[in-house]
Amino acid sequence: MNQATSSKTKKELAFIQDLLIAPDWGERFAALIDEHVKPPKKGRVLYAGAGTGGHALGLREQNQELELLCVDENSESIEIARAKAVTLKVAAEFRTVNLRMLSLPDDLFDLVIGDLSLVAPERVPAIASELIRVTKPGGKLAVALPTSSSYGEFFSIYWEALYNSEFADEVDIESLLNALPTVAELEEIAAREGLIEVASWTQIEAFDYRSADEFLNSPLISDFLMRGWMESIPAKKQERVTREIANLINAERHEAEFLLTVKATLLMGRKVNQS
């Protein structure tokens, strides 16, 4: 069994995201965006959390007159996205940024899309505020991310595993459960930051795993989600907790698949026009 949390380099994580995360996890959030977000025929578009660029470049291919800026916090992901753009002959600009400090002027983009599906939940309000800042008055912002009640199947097992391992005091499970924002909280943030005509859509996405090992060794889990879930547990204790998680999953499955459900949410609004 692999380590519970990944120690991979940025380059390794970028390739994993491109080859294994984007085609499944990423595609589900991209589909939600495509269903509800209609890019303008012309204008500037910012795609924040663009990862290795697949979805962002697809939007640009369909809208040749757009000026597209793709930003991400992993410089290696941006390099892959840049190489894709050259191969596809798609005109776009790429930058590595801190999503909470974009170093861009106010009121710049006609449309801002934020894929925050792999962003730590506690960072979401500050990032959303920054994305709204760079949206033009009258422009639209759309952010996609998991919301409250996601991952419930895992957290119930996680709490029991911590208790059985005598590490129940190491992790505040209630805080983890409450870390993901509710849709109402997202709408409050949007209204507070100057968005109007706010709307949201949520769909439940299910991820199936045939065994505990498949779940724990899944790149989505081990290299991305588990990093946050195990963050407060000292590294030397993580293996014991991971073994207990595996035992509980296998005991509860009864030969059935282990199901992890995610409430994928898209929130969209228009930035109020300045008087």
Please give the pLDDT value at position 1.
Answer: 39
Interhelix angle for 152-164 vs 235-253, to 10°?
A: 120
- Residue 5 falls inside a structural domain: no
Residue from 203, 209, 216 nearest 150 by CA: 203
Count of structural domains within the chain: 1
For residue 95, the cross-strand partners are 71
- Residue 28 falls inside a structural domain: yes
Is residue 50 scored above 50 in pLDDT?
yes
Find the domain containing 236 and state its range.
Answer: 10-271
Please give the pLDDT value at position 43.
Answer: 94
Provide the CATH number for the domain around residue 239: 3.40.50.150
Please give the pLDDT value at position 275.
Answer: 52
SS3 state of residue 154: helix
- Residue 2 falls inside a structural domain: no
- Residue 3 falls inside a structural domain: no
- Residue 119 falls inside a structural domain: yes
Please give the pLDDT value at position 237.
Answer: 87
- Residue 176 falls inside a structural domain: yes
Angle at 190 between CA 186 and CA 194, to 5 degrees: 170
Which of 1-15, 145-159, 200-214 bottoms out in mean pLDDT, i.e. has the lowest? 1-15
Q: What pTM was computed for the model?
A: 0.93
Res. 63 pLDDT band, cuts 50 70 90: confident
Half-sphere exposure of 29 (CA within 13 A, CB side): 28
Residue from 3, 258, 228 nearest 124 by CA: 228
What whole-number percentage of the chain has pLDDT above 70? 97
